[in-house]
Structure 1
Amino acid sequence: MRSSNPVFSRRGFSRDNGYAGFNTAPQAGGAAVGTQGNPYAQPQANPYATNPYAQDLQQGAPPQTPVTTGRMTMDDVVLRTGTTLGVLIVTAALSWVLLPVDDANISRSYGIGIGAALIGMVLAFVQSFKRKATPALIVSYAAFEGVFLGVISSIVDNRIASGAAMQAVIGTLAVFAAVLVAYKAGWIRVNRRFYGFVMAATLGFLLLMVVNMLFAVFGGGDGLGFRSGGLGILFGVIGVLLGACFLALDFKQVEDGIAYGAPKEEAWLAAFGLTLTLVWIYMEFLRLVAILNSSD
């Protein structure tokens, strides 16, 4: 199960059967799953084929006994996600307090924040290309990302829009809750078409942002204006919507991993993906608040 953030690929998307669990309706409590519908029952496409706790599912029948030890559960996902988000929040709070953004210190604080962001990006890329979760990498990513978020949030909150950070947090929590309710209610159907649309839209979004950044670097100003004014607001809303779509993909991946007997350590990858997506949504909200207040 690879993270579902807007940059990195997903192990659950197999070359043989497409996205894990598409066109299936597994029930984690032991419903019968056919070998054609269960991506974890096929040795060539199943990333968990060596998981001894998933062997009972490979014949298309529920386990003879309710074995849960060694298999990923929802509690595992919640615990690991709470750990990564907790580390991120603590380091963000510390950087907010210890790295002042007044006129005398803003350059130094901003430089530390950007450096932490680059280190976090490298750690995220390393983890994304590893076949197995490395908790130390994931927690370290959360720590460095927290430093970056703390500095950026402090700058926006203290120099552009008072209360911006809290507004962004509330917006992120609202999106998370809304997508979770919509997903559990069946209003969002995650299938091949949904996955393809989200990935294509995200690729286009990222390419536009890169082009805008290049124009800003070499041409000065706001580049093509995709991150300021009316266009900035529009693309900020699109960014939040894309983040919401990736949350749905994350929920689907967690659900499939639990249903098909993913090993317990895969919960760290689920936490990694959810953390990346939530950071994405938070940053888009923070940017939106900054743009809206700058245009007043």
Structure 2
Amino acid sequence: MSLRNFKTSNPVFNGYFWEDGKSSPKTMTVLGIFIKSMIGMLVIAAITVYLWRLSESGMSMRWFTLGGMLGAIVVSILISFKQNWAHILVPLYIISKGIFLGGFSSYAHNNFPELPYQAIGVTIITFMVMLLLYQWRIIVVTKKLRSVIITATISIMVVYLISFILGFFGIKSYIWGTSWLAIVFNVLAAIVASFALLLDFDYIERYKNKAPKYKEWLATWGLLATLIWLYVEVLRLMQKLAIRF
């Protein structure tokens, strides 16, 4: 079957593997994605630690958090339209996410120093568990499962977007508080983020050694986006529980 006839269901990967499938003799490999992802995570970690130090010295992280988030969104949109620029845009996305995470997690690091490390541990463990569940076919990625995960993901993102917009008008959404409703929402979001990893694994497996080499950057972008989302949800949940109890 031609890659052009296969339509993906992952919002991050949508359309990446349909075009230019025969334009390059080199193909996407799991090793290439792994190396790029590891380098990306190391860069994000370095930026985050640097911003933690600035935060400890008294510098406000508000604009770093907002700027990093907006930068990542803009770069993601550019990647969607300029996929052949991925080798330039994905590193910019990584830097933006590093700035965002540095600002976002600085509060937790300053007030609950162990929480960011615990959140990283939970994220890694979740990643490994989901990978094993996928590899052993305990969970099979079917069309129905893809639809459920994507629908849940879009719904959560819409809630976040509405809450973000309401914040500009001084209306605080329930999801930012420490109520049980807010905690349950975070738990559900973390579960959806963990299941979204299955889609990343599925697409990498489908197109390894088939898609053009440059699309390793796109696969890396998708995987990092999911991992960062999972980490953010886990850290937010831990913060709420720490404050509440």
Sort the TM-score into its range (normalised by shorter chain). 0.7 to 0.9
Q: Distance in 1 between matches of 2:142 and 2:216?
A: 22
The answer to whether the aligner puts 1:119 opposite 2:91 as a matched pair is no
Q: Distance in 2 between matches of 1:71 and 1:209?
A: 37
The answer to whether the aligner puts 1:151 opposite 2:99 as a matched pair is no
Distance 1:72 1:157, change over 3 A: same
Q: Is the 8 A contact 1:101 1:155 kept in 2?
A: no
Unaligned ranges ≥5, structure 1: 14-45, 54-69
Distance 1:285 1:208, change over 3 A: same
Q: Is the 8 A contact 2:21 2:211 kept in 1?
A: no
Q: Distance in 2 between matches of 1:217 and 1:231?
A: 22
Q: Distance in 2 between matches of 1:287 and 1:152?
A: 10
Distance 1:240 1:276, change over 3 A: same
Q: Distance in 2 between matches of 1:148 and 1:244?
A: 20
Residues 30-179 of structure 1 aligned to structure 2 (within 5 Å): 46-51=18-23, 53=25, 70-97=26-53, 99-101=54-56, 104-106=58-60, 109-159=61-111, 161-179=112-130
Q: Is the 8 A contact 1:77 1:268 kept in 2?
A: yes
Q: Is the 8 A contact 1:133 1:269 kept in 2?
A: no
Q: Distance in 1 between matches of 2:90 and 2:80?
A: 10
Match of residue 145 from structure 2: 194
State the TM-score, normalizing by the size of structure 1: 0.73
Q: Distance in 2 between matches of 1:9 and 1:142?
A: 17
Match of residue 197 from structure 2: 247
Q: Distance in 2 between matches of 1:288 and 1:189?
A: 28
Q: Which has the higher helix share?
A: 2
C-alpha displacement of 1:226:
2.4
C-alpha displacement of 1:80:
1.4
Distance 1:240 1:5, change over 3 A: farther
Match of residue 169 from structure 2: 218
Match of residue 16 from structure 1: none
Q: Distance in 1 between matches of 2:86 and 2:143?
A: 29
Distance 1:158 1:7, change over 3 A: farther
Q: Is the 8 A contact 1:113 1:151 kept in 2?
A: yes
**Aligned amino acid, residue 231 of structure 2:** Y
Q: Is the 8 A contact 2:24 2:213 kept in 1?
A: no
Q: Is the 8 A contact 1:6 1:202 kept in 2?
A: no
Unaligned ranges ≥5, structure 2: none
Deviations 1:89-123 (A, max 9, x none): 121122222x2256x533xx322332122112211
Distance 1:166 1:6, change over 3 A: farther
**Aligned amino acid, residue 272 of structure 1:** W
The answer to whether the aligner puts 1:203 opposite 2:136 as a matched pair is no
Q: Is the 8 A contact 1:74 1:258 kept in 2?
A: yes
Helix, strand or coil at the partner of 1:132: helix
**C-alpha root-mean-square deviation of aligned residues, in Å?**
2.4
**Aligned amino acid, residue 155 of structure 1:** Y
**Aligned amino acid, residue 55 of structure 2:** P
Q: Is the 8 A contact 1:84 1:138 kept in 2?
A: no
**Aligned amino acid, residue 88 of structure 1:** I
Helix, strand or coil at the partner of 1:124: helix
C-alpha displacement of 1:208:
2.3
**Aligned amino acid, residue 205 of structure 2:** E
Distance 1:177 1:5, change over 3 A: farther
Q: Distance in 1 between matches of 2:9 and 2:126?
A: 15
Question: How many percent of aligned residue pairs carry the same amino acid?
Answer: 25
- Larger Rg over CA atoms: 1
**Aligned amino acid, residue 264 of structure 1:** K
